Each structure stands twice: as C-alpha cells, then as structure tokens.
Structure 1
Amino acid sequence: MKKRILAAAALTAIGALTLAGCSDPGSGSGGETAAPEDWPAQDTDLSGVSLTIWAAQNSNTVPESVVAGFEELTGASVEVVTIPDPYEQSIQTKVATGDKPDLAFWQPTASQLTALNASTNLQSLDGAPWLDSYSPDLRDITGILDGTRYATLITTPAVEGVYYNKQVFADNGITELPGDWDEFLADARDLKDAGVTPFFDFGGGTPWATQWWVQVQLADAAQDGLWDRVNANEETFTDPTIQGAIDEYQALIDEGLFNDNLKTATFEDQGPALLNGDAAMVIQVNSYFGLLQSLADTAELDEKIGFFPISPSGNVGTFIPDQSNALVAFKTGDATREAAARQLLSYWLGDGYPDFVEAQSTVSLQDGVPSSADVPQALLDVSASLGGSVGSMQALAVANPDLYLNLGDMIQGTKTPVEVAEATQAQFAELAKAIGTPGF
C-alpha cells in the first residue's frame, strides 16, 4: 500500500496493457465464467505441473503453508517469485510485454483490476466453490469489475480508522469512544489542553498515510455516491466535498493537533509514538498494526492499543484492500495450468484455509473457520467494522491519483490545499481519460 504508481508511469503501463490486450493470442475471450466442472477437485493429481505465484516483498512468505500443503496433496510444483518494488508498476510492465504468472497477489479494486486489463488478462472467478464460505459481509465487498469477479480475498481488507492508546485515554478521563467527527476533535482538543499530543502523522519520506485523513472525512459522501460522481466527471476533487476535507486536514495541522516533527517524522516513528503514549491517536490502516506487532507482543497490544472507525456523522470505516489481501489468476493460454491455478485457489480457501489462518495469525474470512487465537483485539475490531464500512478512493474510483504525495507537499509548505486538489484532479482526469472512462 505504501507504494503508489506515479501518474506518468501508470499512464505508460495502462497504455501498454491496452495494446497488449488487443494482440495477446493466448488471452481467450473476456469475461468468461468457469462452469462448475471447470473447478477441479482440490486433490486432483497435478504431477508434472508447475505453477508460479508473483508476490511483493511484503507478501512473498504469505503462501508458504498453502504451497507446502498443496504440493504434498497434488504433486504440483509451486514457485513463489518476488517482484521488486514498486510492485504494481513492475507487474503491469511485465504483463504488457506478455510475461504472466499463473497467480499473483493484487489489489482487488476497480482501478487496479482495470490497470491489469482484467477482462483480457485475468480468469473469471465467478462461481468459485469457496464463495459461499465467506462471511456474508465480505463475499462481494471487492474483487469485482463490470459484474465479473476477477480477484479473491485471502485476508480481510484494511480499514482506515483510528488506533488509540487506551492508557492515554484513561489517564485523561476519556471513557467513551468518539461517536462522530465532532466528538473525535473535541477529545483531541481536550488532550491538547492537557498537554498531550492528540495525533501523530508523518510527512517525511513517502507520506502515504496523509491521504487517510482526507478519506475518512469522505465516508458519508462515499456512501452517497461521491466516487460514482467523480468517476462520471460530475464532481471533482476541487469541488466543496473533497476540497473541504483537504482544507480541514490543513486546519487541524495549523491548530497544532499533530506532533511537532510532522514534517520530518516517518512511518517507523509512528509505531513507538503511539505505543509509548507520546501521542494519543493515529489514523492508519492494518499494515500499521504490523509495525506495532514488531514492537510488542499480543498481550501488551491488547492492554495498550484500541481501534475505532470514524466518519463525519458516526463510526463508519473506510475499507482499502491492498495487494497482500487478494489473488488473481491469469489467462496464460495453457488450459492445464489455468485449471491448476483455479485448483490452488480452491485449496487455499478450502482445505488449506484453517492452516493458513493459523500460520499467518490472521483474522478468518470464513464463519466456519475461527480466527487465530494470536490475533490482537484491535485487529478483530478492525475486521468487525468491515460490515458497515464504505469503499475508499482506491476501492471505488476508476483511477488512483497521487493524493498522498500532494498532501505531503502541503505538509512541507510547497502546495496549498487548493493546489493539492487541483493537482490531484488533473492526475485523475488524465488517468481516467487514458483508460477510456466516459466523460473524460
């Protein structure tokens, strides 16, 4: 999630993928749905069949338990290949030249599935045998483009929300969690008056978390069709809704509600700051919790760290699946390998899933499989918020402009809030036009 494709690189890759999609002789027809008989039994013999999974540096160990179990069960050989960062850009470039794996980790959002030219390059996963095993709230939350399922979740999507230090809250008399944005800010101001830093964010390095501050403010509007209107060029980043959220972020910075070293702080600084109580709250996503887990065990995290979603009018979370949450299966032109790839997915979300959940110490996607006992309560609360959450810009917009970079410039004082919105809208329009979105 940290690595976002810069606009120029994304345009190049999208253009190349479009050309490749027109000329790839092994692509097959788009949007085909695998019939039930096309989903091999999980234990079908695959002796002599070799499969390749592409993974990022932060997801290349995720398949280990599944690969070991699948190879033993079927006789297949599965190789996990690490693709260097920037992961998404590297994969798009490879696929544009005809280089495809059998499976790959991929962000299951409309914009990222479009970037892969899904109807041409990816197998349809409609009718997959594991779909009914998903918890109802998660079954159709993402992975679908133009009515066809191209990606399947293997872990719960990330949620943008507030991680807080329980002890700091208790020491300052905050006994109830904020119920909406106004209460959230009221608590922050009380903390500031008490000499506590309310919020910790970072503007140094690659300030990818800055965008969460804008996006959680857009949750209500997203529920009301904001991103549909942006996708249709009926509303823009410079119109009052999104511009207002950017303005609010700048106003909170000007009010002194953030850490003094906001301009130079990094992601790595954000974990100790919250864990040690140097700041009371952080707006972040699930990957941030991985940083906390590297600093403390589950017992300490349960004691110190809590989570709640936030939105203008309530506690609506904003979900943002990343590449480590989902897999896609490619059309390679080799029918045996394509079927084997579907079989591996069936095993991953089938007989291999309980071991996978335990090996990853993760929250289960399936009601019939318990979450790992090693999952901290905060992550269980994140997962519980998904049912009432709404999609982020990345999940619902047709393109993913570099909002976070522009907000980073705002923190450094090189862009005004108005210039942030203008630059982001210009990038969005260019990307939307490049993929043929009507209205651009």
Structure 2
Amino acid sequence: MGTEPLSRRSFLAAAGLAGISVPVLGACGGDSDDSGGSGKKVTIEWWNIATTEPGRTLWPQAAKAYEAAHPNVQIKMTSLENDAYKSKMTAQTASGKLPDIFHTWGGGVLEQQVEAGLVKDITGGVAPWIGNLSPISVQPYQLGGKTYAVPYDIGMVGFWYNKALFAKAGIKAPPATWAELLDAVRKLKSAGVTPIALAGKEKWPGHYYWSYLAIRIGGVAALKQAAETKDFSGAPFVQAGQRLKELVDLAPFQNGFQGASYPTTDGQAAQMSNGKTAMELMGQWAPNVQKEMGKGLGDDLGFFPFPTVAGGSGAATEVFGGGGGNALSKDAPAEALDFLKFFASVENDRKRVASKAFLPIAKGAESAITDPNLKTVSQTLNNATGFQLFLDQAFPPAVGQEVNDQVAALVASKATPEQVAQAITKTAKSQ
C-alpha cells in the first residue's frame, strides 16, 4: 500500500492493491453547475484504487446506495491499481484537472495538489461532522489548519508472521528488539524456512524497513526535523541503512524477490499466504490480501510491532503507517462532499471494518472488529505516542520516490547506507 499501500504503498491502502483496472474516463469534473443540491442532474467522477476485494465490492455498493437515495446523482467510478493510479494522477495534476472525487494518501502529494490550487478546501463543509471521526485518521489530510480530504481507513505497518513456522524454528516469542529479529532470521534459515517475503519489484514495501529503523533510532522527531531541513544525512538515517544492511547481509528474502510484486499469486502476499515464508512487513490490509492471493494462514497468522533498536531514542509506541482518504477537486459539485459524508458514516465504516480489511475511522465502528490480529493493530494504533505517515507519501513526490529507489538499491547491495542518505538529501534540497 507503501509506495501501497492499501500498494499504499500502499497501500499502498488496502482496498486497491491489485486487480483488473476499469478503463479511465476521458474527462474529469461534474457536469452540473448546481451547488445546492436542487435536484438537477449531477454526474460525479470518482477515481479510486478499489481493485481488490472487499473494496471492489464495497465501493460500488456505496455508490449505488447513494444514487438510490439521490436519484439526481450519478457516480462514475474509475478504479486503478495503485501504481497505475499514481501515474495517471501525476498526469492529471500536471494538466490542472482532477476528478471530482479522488483517492489520496495525504501528505506531500496532496500538499502539492493543494498548492497548485486543484483541491477544494472542505474545512467548513465537514465542520459539523468531522468530529465523528478519529483525529489520527484525519491528520494526514489536514494542511495548515485546513482539511482537504475525508479518510476511510487508518492503520499501521508491522510484522505479520506464521506462528507454525516460528515454532518449527524454535522461536518462542515474537522479536521485540532488532537483535532478536536478526536472531529469528538466523533460526528460521537454520530450520530451512525462508524468513521474509519482499516485493522488491515494487520498491515501496522495502522502504518500510528503512523508515521504521529511522523512527526507532531517532524517533518521529527526527523525521519531522528532516522534513523541515530537507537533510537526511544525520545519524538516524545513516544508521537506519546500516541496520537494514545487517538484515540484507543475512539473505532473508525469498528467491527472486527483486522481481516479485506484492499483490499477485506468486508475490509477497502469496508467499506468506501459502506458508512459504515466515514474515512480511506490511500494513493492516495484509491478512485480507493474503487470503485473496493464496490459501490464507487462519489461526497461524500473528502480528507484532516493529522491534526497538538498542540505543535508539524512538519509542516502541511510535508507529509508521497511514490509510486512505478521498479528496475533492476545486470544481467538484456540492453532492460530492455530501457523498464523502455518507461514505464516512458509522454505518458504512462498520461495513468496511466487518470485512476485516479496514480499521475504523468513525467513532462507534470499533465494535465491528472481530479479528484478533486487527484488534491488536487497532489497540497499538490507539495507544501510539507518535505517528509518521509513509515517507513516500509524507514527502513531495520526488523525495518519496527517491526514498523508495535508494532503499531498493541498498537492499540490492548497490548502494551504501551513506550513499542512500546523501542521495535522498540531494533530492530533498532540490525541491
């Protein structure tokens, strides 16, 4: 989900990590000048990344339910796989014309679109009901005290692991420190088990390791400072690369990982789902994607937070992640914002949460969480003392891409920790 997600890079965001794309509509923007919901015919274009289940079903259901209650409104959906969506939106941003409603991860990409004058400020419009949503879920979409998007998901990255394979390797408890994680990798390899699944081809899953290590070493404060100074050459970032190299040197990933994707039947999620690897570092959408891409692990699937690093100033309660939201183009009709209110309602949120692919954003939807692992993720997120958005979304697009590219080079042993930090700094300074 990283880069997606759900690939949030993610994310990728959970609802849209892979699948068949719907043809992209040729034009953007509502076809009505009605701004008061007077009953005139209104067409809303909604671009999203809901190409896998349950989003592939839930998103159209929500659109049809809204249309049924508002006969004058037609919602035209365009669903694109994560990376294809990003490419298309980059082109649309350059053209100065965005869809009425469009998926966003917030952060630097959204900020760039806002600064270009392409996104509607919805602060006043959401004021009566935004308080019904959890503050941490809204945070990525607030810039300069104003709100520019409405969330539908929020979560964090952590390790998903196969309990049976851990037991086979004699690992009695999930690693709590980086040293323990490295030791677990060694034990798994000794037991003939591939320790970690990684979608090296897509790059964004790899950036999770470097990002989390920087947080554990320097704390969320180090990331905030780097964003302000555009300087990633400091100790937390170089040391993050050094720690990641320790892992890479153990050759922990599956054969052919550099050519592997995330949401495919032979990719990272499938490696985990079919019991071929013991761990993957991924967001809250991982269990759902695993089930779609393979057999699924059932009760053998467990979750643990990213380990702490000895001597680091980052707390175990500082988390790294994000979610998904919907923003409006500057010319979107009033009905588009009304749809976002409907989509973020506790009733619709409970449907998303009940699917076991999303965590709640609406207060009152928490009771719909039934999966033990997702309850753990939700509780960890609720108890977080710091939150850092995915770096490939938090920073300007060029910087985010540089992070992904450089970490991929490090994982491929084609760049040193120092070179990674210097290259990211150079790109940041150029922005």
TM-score using structure 2 length: 0.77
Q: Tell me the matched-pair count.
A: 381
User: Secondary structure at the residue paired with 1:283?
Assistant: strand
From 109, 112, 117, the equivalent of 1:112 is 109
Unaligned runs of 5+ in 1: 5-25, 27-38, 434-440
Q: Which moved more, 1:143-152 or 1:85-94?
A: 85-94
1:319 matched residue in structure 2: 320
Structure 2 residue aligned with 1:55: 48
Corresponding letter in the other structure for 2:320: F
Aligned-pair distance for 1:394? 3.8
Report what 2:228 is aligned to. Answer: 232
| Aligned residues of 1:199 and 1:279 also touching (Cα < 8 A) | yes
1:275 corresponds in structure 2 to: 273
Query: Rg: which structure is higher?
Result: 1
| Aligned partner of residue 282 in structure 1, secondary structure | strand
The 2-side partners of 1:251 and 1:351 are apart by 45
| Residue in 1 that maps onto 2:336 | 341
Q: Which residue of 1 aligns with 2:239?
A: 244
Q: Counterpart of 2:8?
A: none
The answer (yes or no) to whether the contact 2:2–2:208 under 8 Å persists in 1 is no
Give the conservation status (yes or no) of the 8 Å contact 1:302–1:376. no
One of 304, 309, 320 as aligned partner of 1:308: 304
Separation (CA, whole Å) in 2 of partners of 1:228 and 1:106: 21
Q: Contact 2:137 / 2:154 at 8 angstroms: preserved in 1?
A: no
Cα distance per residue 1:45-102 (max 9 Å; x no partner): 6442222212246367652122111111122111113468532342243244332322
Gaps of 5+ in 2: 5-28, 30-34, 310-314
The 3-state SS of whatever aligns with 1:156 is strand
AA aligned opposite 1:368: G
Structure 1 Cα separation of the partners of residues 92 and 270 of structure 2: 38
Corresponding residue of 1:215? 211
Counterparts of 2:335 and 2:193 in 1: how far apart (Å)? 56
Report the Cα offset of residue 141 of structure 1. 3.3
SS at match of 2:330: coil
Cα deviations across residues 17-51 of structure 1 (Å, max 9, x unaligned)?
xxxxxxxxx9xxxxxxxxxxxx98xxx66442222
Correspondence for 1:146 among 144, 164, 168: 144
What amino acid does structure 2 have at the position aligned with 1:427? T
Q: TM-score, length-normalised on structure 1?
A: 0.75
2:159–2:303: 8 Å Cα contact kept in structure 1?
yes
Cα deviation, 1:245-284, whole Å, max 9, x if unaligned, reads: 1122122221344435444444333234323443222212
Contact persistence 1:180–1:315 (CA under 8 A): no
Deviation at 1:224, TM superposition (A): 4.6
Give how far 1:326 is off.
Answer: 0.5
The CA distance in 1 between the partners of 2:391 and 2:275, in whole Å, is 31
**1:17-28 matched pairs, under 5 angstroms:** none
Residue 365 of structure 1 aligns to a residue whose secondary structure is coil
Q: Residues 160-239 of structure 1: matches in 2 within 5 Å? A: 160-203=157-200, 205-221=201-217, 223-233=219-229, 235-236=231-232, 238-239=233-234
RMSD between superposed Cα atoms in Å: 3.2
- The answer on whether the counterparts of 1:401 and 1:428 sit within 8 Å (CA) in structure 2 is no
Distance 2:158 2:134 in 1: 21
| Change beyond 3 A, Cα 1:162–1:103 | same
Find the counterpart in structure 1 of residue 374 from structure 2: 379
With over 3 angstroms needed to count, the CA separation of the structure-2 counterparts of 1:285 and 1:257, relative to structure 1, is: same
Compute the displacement of 1:147 (Å).
Answer: 1.6
In structure 2, the CA distance between the partners of 1:295 and 1:55, relative to structure 1 (3 Å rule), is closer
Offset at residue 154 of structure 1 (A): 0.8
Matched, 1:416 2:411: no
Q: Secondary structure at the match of 1:69?
A: helix
Distance (Å, rounded) in 2 between the aligned partners of 1:259 and 1:351: 41
Deviation at 1:370, TM superposition (A): 4.8
Mapping 1:68-147, distance limit 5 Å: 68-75=64-71, 76-82=73-79, 85-109=83-107, 111-118=108-115, 120-127=117-124, 128=126, 129-135=128-134, 138-147=136-145
* Structure 1 residues 45 and 295, CA gap change in structure 2 (3 angstroms): same
Deviations 1:218-267 (A, max 9, x none): 2235645112221232742x322111111221222213444354444443
Q: 1:118 to 1:55 in 2, by over 3 A?
A: farther
SS of the counterpart of 1:99? coil
Deviation at 1:371, TM superposition (A): 5.7
Pair 67,272 (structure 1): closer, same or farther in 2 beyond 3 Å: closer
Partner AA of 1:101 in structure 2: P
**CA distance in 1: counterparts of 2:361 and 2:148, whole angstroms:** 18
In the alignment, the residues of structure 1 paired with residue 44 and residue 3 of structure 2 have an alpha-carbon distance, to the nearest angstrom, of: 27
Task: Say whether the 8 Å CA contact 2:186–2:250 is kept in structure 1.
Answer: no
* Matched residue type, 2:415: K
Give secondary structure in 2 for the equivalent of 1:116: helix
The amino acid that maps onto 2:227 is: N
Letter in 2 for 1:153: P
Aligned to 1:405: 405
Residue aligned with 1:117, SS: helix
- Tell me the amino acid that sits aligned with residue 402 of structure 2: D
Counterpart in the other structure of 1:29: none
* CA deviation profile, 1:349-381 (whole Å, cap 9, x unmatched): 2375257427855433223235656x6433343
Answer yes or no: is the 8 Å Cα contact 1:201–1:282 preserved in 2: yes
- Equivalents in 2 of 1:114, 1:103: separation in Å? 16
Contact 1:401–1:424, Cα closer than 8 Å, also in 2: no
Q: Give 2:7's aligned residue.
A: none
Q: Closer, same or farther in 2 for the Cα pair 1:330/1:92, shift >3 Å?
A: same
Compared with structure 1, are the counterparts of its residues 130 and 174 closer, same or farther at alpha carbon in structure 2 (3 Å cutoff)? farther
Q: Secondary structure at the match of 2:204?
A: coil
